[in-house]
Amino acid sequence: MGAATPLPVLIVLHQEHSTPGRVGRLLVERGHPLDIRRPRFGDPLPQTLALHAGAVVFGGPMSANDPDDWVKREIDWIGVALDEKKPLLGLCLGAQMLAKHLGGRIDPHPSGLAEIGYYPLKPTATGRRFASETGAPWPSHVYQWHREGLDCPPGGELLAEGADFPNQAFRVGPAAFGLQFHPEVTHAMIYRWTTRASERLGLPGAQAAHLHHRGRFMYDPDVALWLDAFLDHWLAAGTPQARSQPVAEPGSACAPAI
């Protein structure tokens, strides 16, 4: 008998014209259809992920602290993936929603700084061990676009740190990950963001547009290699064999959000 057809991956987007970028392309290349939902515009989220290989919750200009009903519902819904131990990946806003669901705080930088552009990334000791699991080193710089920082939540393992926003990547259990940064961005997405949201490039700490484009050529090859290996590891974490493994105790302490 042939191999089973891969299950779809749930893609949660927050703007009308957002795309899953490179993450979506890599999942399709692995044979996974994309089930794209936009809860902000009324799309329902599934009551179970039994018919999905996992879920990716993407970013957006809103805050996980916003009082909108759809924001609160989406944060609550994250419990579906966690309870079923399905692969869950939160990117920027998605990572902040994951942290908030688990009791972490989301706060602006006390000095009003933003991270918009390419910034250094430093793996923790736990993160270095995780890199040995995936077979790919962490990139030295990653693309950022945010003004709030997240707590690494209770029970989480801090995998990577930054200077102004200390919690950059965390894992909860075998298959749930939050990344403050944007490995999904394509060159076209960077052009679009720096053009349509150019006013944000003037925020304290943000980089000028030409540094975004230069950083893309300097750092993105390493980001691409890391993401390719990471997604294989992430999808494998949802297999019955992986879900039956005991969860290791957290190995790296989480810093405050700011």
- Tell me which residues are annotated as active site: 92, 182, 184
Q: What is the distance between the alpha carbons of residues 194 and 208, in angstroms, rounded to a whole number?
A: 9
Q: Looking at this protein, which amino acid is placed at residue 62?
A: M
**Do 153 and 98 form a contact (C-beta atoms < 8 A)?**
yes
Q: Looking at this protein, which amino acid is placed at residue 92?
A: C
Residue 151: phi and psi, rounded to 5, are -80, 140
Q: What is the distance between the alpha carbons of residues 164 and 203, in angstroms, rounded to a whole number?
A: 14
Two tokens, residue 227:
């993401």
Which sign does the torsion angle of CA 175, 176, 180, 183 carry?
A: positive
- For residue 255, how many C-alpha atoms fall within 13 Å in the half-sphere facing its CB? 16
Q: What is the distance between the alpha carbons of residues 62 and 228, in angstroms, rounded to a whole number?
A: 28
* β-strand partners of 142: 119
Q: Looking at this protein, which amino acid is placed at residue 156?
A: G
**Do 64 and 93 form a contact (C-beta atoms < 8 A)?**
yes
Q: What is the distance between the alpha carbons of residues 145 and 122, in angstroms, rounded to a whole number?
A: 18
Q: What is the distance between the alpha carbons of residues 85 and 42, in angstroms, rounded to a whole number?
A: 26
**CA 85 from centroid of its chain's CA atoms:** 17
